[in-house]
Structure 1
Amino acid sequence: MPETPPNPAALTPGQARALFRAGLRTPTAGWCAGWTQANLIAVPRAQAYDVLLFAQRNPGPCPVLDVTEPGETSARLFAGDLRTDLPGYVVYEDGEPVAWVADVRDHWRPDLVAFLIGCSFTFEDALREAGVPVRHVEQGRNVPMYRTDRMCRPAGGLAGPLVVSMRPVPAGLVADAVRVTSRYPAVHGAPVHIGDPAALGIADLDEPDFGDPVDVRAGEIPVFWACGVTPQAAVTHSRPKLAIGHAPGHMAITDARDSAFAVP
């Protein structure tokens, strides 16, 4: 089993994917600086239109970066193997997670259509460059993610709640965080909420639904961005026969550059 290298930010996407293919399982925040990371959701062709329509109707949490043809195991933005080259996967049957695995070749079907959905890790380098801390990277943890009480607009047989990621931001830097991330609309863009978690139906920041809790220090405000785990929340809510997603925080590292998704 390979070990996490001392400086994962310096790796190329191909180098990172080779480590994941060899069995390394790790959250990918801070990996491959400058290279875009993406969420994965793969469904049978019969459900693919529902996913595409769900994404079109909910572009904040579900910004589509790429879509494969049925059965394809790579994509224009991802030259690796979507079945092996992520550091963790979740397999859902009838909406229930039945396997958390490092390789989904045994679960892949020739009719599966894979969607790569934008990820907020894409703008984290820009946040740090602006002086905004990224606490989960500082603490070596997975980003905290929460199901909210806000329902997405349904599409066909797919419905479910908005999922958000949270980063604590010093009060004096909140405006900078909004300004920086609003330049990345293709990877969730500006925050969906700033401040009281209860306004999103989140009872306890120390109990994320996915990922790990992080420290929220004195003078910091929790800031919430739409999250690409939202399609997986829709899977558990709507209970399709089969879906495959990335393990939350364990992303597909693509061959696209973060800068390609920034607007002036």
Structure 2
Amino acid sequence: MAHIIVVGNEKGGSGKSTTSMHVATALARMGRKVGTLDLDLRQRSLGRYMDNRAAFVASRSLDLAMPLHADLPEAEAAREGENPSDRRLSAAVQALEGEMEFILIDCPGSHTRLSQVAHSLADTLITPLNDSFVDFDLLARTGPDGKILGPSVYSEMVWSARQVRAQAGLPPIDWVVTRNRLGAQQMHNKKKVGEALERLSKRIGFRVAPGFSERVIFRELFPRGLTLLDLKDVGVEKLNMSNVAARQELRDLITALDLPDITPDF
């Protein structure tokens, strides 16, 4: 059985697609068979990234590691009582599962039936957050004094996905929340958000892991479908300090995910 990694939350602009691109490509570069699915059927950021990567590799005759990206099959007539979205996602996962060691699913920044079902399939769930209380609100409601009042609708959805897995006799979801766009300044806010996440993690059951800082390199590489791990393969002989730091952030993230039989070697 492939290990299924779901990257999701219900807020746009938090770095889901950047995380998906780098985790999937890092695993592929480590020699693992990786399949990817993009459930944002309108924007398709991960899908377009994979298209860009395939086109760039072909244009330069490069031999770069490539995750296998699959599109959802067209909806077929559902059986009685079956949701068509469930059928599409199930068919896509089954098509990849026999050949892949890992399947990474990138969810849209909104609540959809596809996203809801994907969360119930997750062995590992990665929820990227920008480091602010605006994004913290995705996980829990807080009062003016910072006191946690209760879980958010997204946290409740993850709880429901956990219940579905338990009823099916599947292992529990390993839920990992990553802190993206950590600023070098605003240390007071960073500390407050960090403390709030640690308190909440114990209440609703997730782990906190390092994410990605705000770096221009991530946006620059998208049109070619590259990651910072590919730079030397495309002729960049010397990495600048920002690129070196970004590689370390990715290494730290892969290590923190604690995926089966994976030790970063880059």
Larger radius of gyration: 2
Q: Give the structure with the larger strand fraction.
A: 1
Which structure carries more helix by proportion? 2
TM-score in same-fold range (> 0.5): no
Q: What is the TM-score with the length of structure 1 in the denominator? A: 0.30
Q: TM-score, normalised on structure 2? A: 0.29
Greater relative contact order: 1 or 2 (C-alpha under 8 angstroms, separation 6 or more)? 1
